């Protein structure tokens, strides 16, 4: 006699062909353009599991986030609404913004008969913070709706902390001490146990978000750090950038100056790169576990897989070690979509955006449109033909009235004070030469400007980084001087107190920012 679990799997398998497609929805925090399918992928990066997923579907080389910050990027994707439409430019709780009182992506699937289960960082923050996840979205969430992400990291073997929250180091314990490992294990067990179909399974990974604290074995894979290929960098890269862009890069806070100043002075560029690549490899391994569970399950032939990153991260380009800017390293993201029995192993160079995921999944699953109007575009034509005509540009917003428009060839940035940057990314993929002030490109700017939003919603209440993203004016010279004075004073105080940028055997922080 068949055991109940075996019988259940057989029953699910017999009805699979007649079922609506399942969805595996994988989110990765701070993952920039290092996966193998990117033309500019770092030559030392190790992403074998993301690469094998890429071989099964369509990988987008010019996908962009809606905002270079966790909360507004995820809020936009999950609601299908632009930041400029809602006023959610920063860390404002989604539930506090009337314009975002709509059915989110998993909620819409749940409203239409899907079993929705999730784990890890899908929304920003946690339910008590007002960001989500919410009970109306999910049938099941691990560890819980109130505590969606396990933040454990283990103990540092070596700890680098140039400044503030820019810190990294190899950890003593193995993978099992890491929160992302636990999320992958939970997702794997749930797939193995069986999930009522059709289902929407969300799996969110926190690494390579700071701190870059992963087991020593992953650091060893990139040792010695001095042998790594350096990140392309131009020392005078900010010379042709307008003041608003320079402000975003350096003078948002003393810490923004301190990051590059300290790393460069101590010669830690390679060590920082090693830590980021180690964190990427660690996360890639967790992704592989979930993909393996799906492959051996009865759902393998009827599950759409979407892998995406919420924004990029600058690793010293333009002397910046953060996201939050409108440059390509902060804004471009991995996006891979696998649809069973469709094209596989192809790349698409069309400019797309995370905003497009909601309408695309609605179309692929055959669901009705939600009650609110989605502002993205269905990517189905590109999944059928990656070179199909695509008349749309991608839009990224960093605070009220600061935007970047991206096409296959151009990136045009305009700040709230009128400052501009224009880059021909086919000829200048690192955005080293700003063409905005060259009259020969005036017509190009006019064409691209048509894709800036006609309406810029005012900042919604809450934490928005308004002190720098949305300042009406500033005295740049005074701001620079104040920022440097603050940094020098704090650094001198730290040195007098015996501060050492390298520490041994320190517990990894469990208070990492979301």
pLDDT given for residue 259 in this prediction: 75
Q: What is the mean pLDDT of residues 495-504?
A: 51
Q: How is residue 22 written in tokens?
A: 């399942």
What is the average pLDDT value for the chain, to the nearest integer? Answer: 89
Percentage, residues of the chain above pLDDT 90: 72
Q: Which of 118-127, 187-196, 265-274, 482-491 has the lowest mean pLDDT?
A: 482-491
Residue 70 appears among annotated catalytic residues: yes
- Residue 5 falls inside a structural domain: no
More confident residue, 253 or 60: 60
The helix (run of H) or strand (run of E) holding residue 280 is helix 269-295
Q: Which of 70, 183, 250, 348 is catalytic?
A: 70
- Residue 406 falls inside a structural domain: no
Domain count, the chain: 1
CB 326 within 8 A of CB 245: yes
pLDDT at 379 over 90: yes
CATH label of the domain that carries residue 256:
3.40.720.10
DSSP 77-100: HHHT--HHHH---SS--GGG-GGG
Percentage, residues of the chain above pLDDT 70: 86
Q: Which of 60-64, 139-143, 386-390, 482-486 has the lowest mean pLDDT?
A: 482-486
Compute the distance between CA of residue 270 and CA of residue 193 in angstroms, rounded to an integer. 43
pLDDT given for residue 16 in this prediction: 37
Query: What does the longest C-alpha to C-alpha distance in the chain come to?
Result: 80
DSSP 144-193: -SSS-------BBSEEEEEETTEEEEEESS-GGGSHHHHHHHHHHHHHHH
Place of tokens 């300290």: 262
pLDDT tens string 14-65: 333 468 999 999 999 999 999 999 999 999 999 999 999 999 999 999 999 9
The confidence band for 137, taking pLDDT boundaries of 50, 70 and 90, is: very high
Q: What is the mean pLDDT of residues 116-133?
A: 85
The confidence band for 505, taking pLDDT boundaries of 50, 70 and 90, is: very low
State how far the alpha carbon of 213 is from the alpha carbons of 157, 237, 512, in Å: 10, 30, 11
Place of tokens 């967790």: 286
Q: Which of 42, 124, 183, 250 is catalytic?
A: 124
The helix (run of H) or strand (run of E) holding residue 337 is strand 335-338
133 preceded by cis ω (within 30°)?
yes
Q: Which of 330, 343, 163, 362 is nearest to 258 (CA)?
A: 163
Q: How is residue 326 written in tokens?
A: 């409108």
Cβ atoms within 10 Å of 513's Cβ, excluding its own: 11
* Residue 205: strand pairing partners: 28
CB 245 within 8 A of CB 421: yes
pLDDT at 243 over 50: yes
Q: Which of 214, 213, 204 is nearest to 133 (CA)?
A: 204
pLDDT tens string 346-361: 999 999 999 999 999 9
Q: How is residue 364 written in tokens?
A: 């692929």
Q: What is the mean pLDDT of residues 84-89?
A: 94
pLDDT at 10 over 80: no
pLDDT tens string 458-486: 888 876 655 555 554 556 677 777 777 77
More confident residue, 343 or 500: 343
224 preceded by cis ω (within 30°)?
yes
Q: Which of 81-90, 179-188, 249-258, 397-406 has the lowest mean pLDDT?
A: 249-258
- Residue 391 falls inside a structural domain: no
- Residue 3 falls inside a structural domain: no
DSSP 398-448: -STT-EEEE-SSEEEEE-TTS-EEEEETTT-TT--S--TT-GGGHHHHHHH
pLDDT given for residue 237 in this prediction: 95
pLDDT tens string 434-455: 999 999 999 999 999 999 999 9
More confident residue, 47 or 503: 47
- Residue 151 falls inside a structural domain: yes
89 alpha-carbon distance from chain centroid: 15
Identify the domain containing residue 143 by its residue range.
Answer: 21-384+463-504
**Nearest 10 degrees: Cα torsion 264, 267, 269, 275:** -130
- Residue 79 falls inside a structural domain: yes
- Residue 414 falls inside a structural domain: no
Compute the distance between CA of residue 79 and CA of residue 373 in angstroms, rounded to an integer. 10
pTM score: 0.92
pLDDT at 506 over 60: no
Q: What is the mean pLDDT of residues 9-16?
A: 40
The confidence band for 220, taking pLDDT boundaries of 50, 70 and 90, is: very high
Residue 377 appears among annotated catalytic residues: no
pLDDT tens string 100-121: 999 999 999 999 999 999 999 9
- Could you give phi then psi for residue 24, rounded to 5 degrees? -105, 120
Q: How is residue 170 written in tokens?
A: 């190899």
CB 350 within 8 A of CB 57: no
Q: What is the mean pLDDT of residues 328-345?
A: 96
pLDDT given for residue 507 in this prediction: 44
- Residue 238 falls inside a structural domain: yes
pLDDT at 512 over 80: no
Q: Convert 216-269 into a string of H (helix), E (strand) and C (coil).
A: HHHHHCCCCHHHCCCCCCCCCHHHHCCHHHHHHHHHCCHHHHHHHHHHHHHCCH
335 burial via Cβ count (<10 Å: 0-12, 13-18, 19+): buried
Q: Which of 5, 2, 358 is nearest to 195 (CA)?
A: 5
């Amino acid at each position: 006699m068949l055991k109940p679990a075996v019988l259940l799997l057989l029953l699910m398998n017999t009805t699979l062909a007649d079922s609506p497609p399942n969805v595996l929805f994988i989110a990765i925090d701070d993952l920039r353009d290092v996966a193998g399918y990117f033309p500019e992928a770092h030559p030392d990066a190790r992403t074998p599991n993301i690469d094998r997923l890429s071989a099964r579907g369509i990988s987008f080389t010019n996908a962009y986030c809606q905002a270079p910050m966790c909360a507004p990027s995820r809020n936009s994707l999950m609601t299908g609404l632009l930041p400029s439409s809602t006023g959610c430019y920063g860390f404002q709780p989604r539930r506090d913004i009337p314009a975002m009182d709509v059915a989110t992506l998993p909620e819409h699937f749940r409203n239409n008969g899907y079993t929705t289960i999730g784990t890890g960082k899908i929304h920003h923050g946690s339910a008590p913070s007002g960001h989500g996840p919410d009970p109306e979205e999910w049938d099941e969430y691990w560890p819980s709706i109130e505590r969606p992400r396990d933040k454990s990291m283990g103990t540092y073997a070596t700890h680098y902390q140039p400044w503030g929250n820019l810190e990294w180091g190899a950890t003593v314990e193995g993978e099992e001490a890491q929160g992302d490992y636990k999320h992958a294990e939970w997702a794997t067990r749930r797939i193995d146990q069986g999930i009522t179909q059709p289902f929407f399974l969300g799996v969110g990974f926190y690494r390579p978000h700071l701190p870059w604290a992963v087991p020593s074995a992953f650091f060893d894979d990139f040792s010695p750090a001095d042998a790594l290929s350096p990140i392309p960098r131009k020392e005078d890269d900010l010379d042709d950038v307008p003041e608003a862009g320079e402000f975003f890069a350096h003078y948002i806070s003393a810490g923004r100056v301190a990051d590059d100043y300290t790393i460069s002075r101590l010669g830690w560029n390679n060590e920082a790169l090693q830590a980021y690549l180690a964190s990427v490899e660690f996360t890639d391994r967790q992704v592989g576990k979930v993909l393996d569970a799906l492959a051996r399950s009865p759902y393998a032939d009827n599950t759409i897989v979407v892998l995406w990153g919420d924004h990029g991260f600058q690793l010293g380009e333009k002397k910046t070690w953060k996201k939050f800017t409108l440059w390509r390293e902060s804004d471009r993201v991995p996006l891979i979509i696998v649809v069973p029995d469709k094209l596989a192993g192809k790349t698409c160079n069309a400019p797309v955006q995370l905003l497009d995921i909601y309408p695309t999944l609605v179309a692929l699953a055959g669901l009705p449109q939600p009650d609110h109007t989605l502002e993205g575009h269905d990517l189905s034509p590109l999944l059928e033909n990656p070179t199909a005509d695509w008349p749309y540009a991608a839009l990224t917003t960093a605070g009220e009235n600061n935007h970047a428009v991206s096409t296959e060839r151009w990136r045009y940035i305009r700040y709230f004070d009128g400052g501009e940057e224009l880059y021909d990314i086919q000829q200048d993929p690192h955005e080293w030469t700003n063409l905005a002030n060259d009259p020969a490109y005036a017509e190009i700017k006019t064409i691209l400007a048509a894709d800036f939003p006609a309406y810029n919603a005012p900042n919604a209440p809450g934490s928005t980084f308004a002190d720098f993203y949305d300042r009406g004016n500033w005295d740049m010279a005074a701001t620079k001087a104040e920022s440097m004075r603050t940094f020098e004073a704090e650094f001198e105080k730290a040195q007098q107190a015996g501060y050492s940028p390298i520490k041994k055997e320190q517990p990894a922080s469990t208070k990492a920012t979301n």
